[in-house]
Amino acid sequence: MEISKQGVVSDIKNIKDSKMEDKQWQSLLQLGNESFHEQEWSQAELFYSEAYNLLALSYRNHPMCTETLMAWICACHNLSALYESTNHLELSLKFLTVPHEYLLNIANSKSAEEDAKVTAFNGLRLTLSPILMFAKKYPICENCLENFTSLKGLLKQHAAVIH
């Protein structure tokens, strides 16, 4: 088997780019957290939004990377907490439901790979709880609440089957 120098250089560049992206989004989330704790809302929003964008791009480029997916969900939840703190409840709920709906679409997809479906299904546990906690504090549409509650039952049922 012959390995071209160009292929190796390309692989090394991709690894370096990926590591650079990791450091960037991690730094942005950390800066966002610091700004959030200092109640510097616009700064926190800027940092969290940039991390969100970087992670979304990185995940598109590496759709099987669970770490990137989980970090993207974290960025969404950070944005949700920020918007809740500033009383922008519709945006807060949006950033809870965006990753949830994304994972639900993958889990229900007929064309997604089985590994991606399993990852998405497991990720739904991480996205559903914050939505239900939000719904306890603030009113959300009854139909939506019913759907989330029935999904919670389905996830519990599925977890019992796995164990």
Residue (of 47, 100, 102, 97) closest to 75 by Cα position? 47
pTM of the model: 0.77
Q: In Å, how far are 68, 103, 104, 106 from 109, measured between CA atoms?
A: 20, 10, 8, 5
Mean pLDDT of 94-100: 92
| CATH code, 44 | 1.25.40
pLDDT greater at residue 17 or residue 61: 61
Q: In Å, how far are 4, 20, 27, 118, 123 from 23, measured between CA atoms?
A: 29, 5, 6, 27, 23
Helix or strand (DSSP H, E) at 162? helix 142-162
User: Is residue 65's pLDDT more than 90?
Assistant: no
Number of domains in the chain: 1
Structural domain boundaries enclosing 42: 5-162
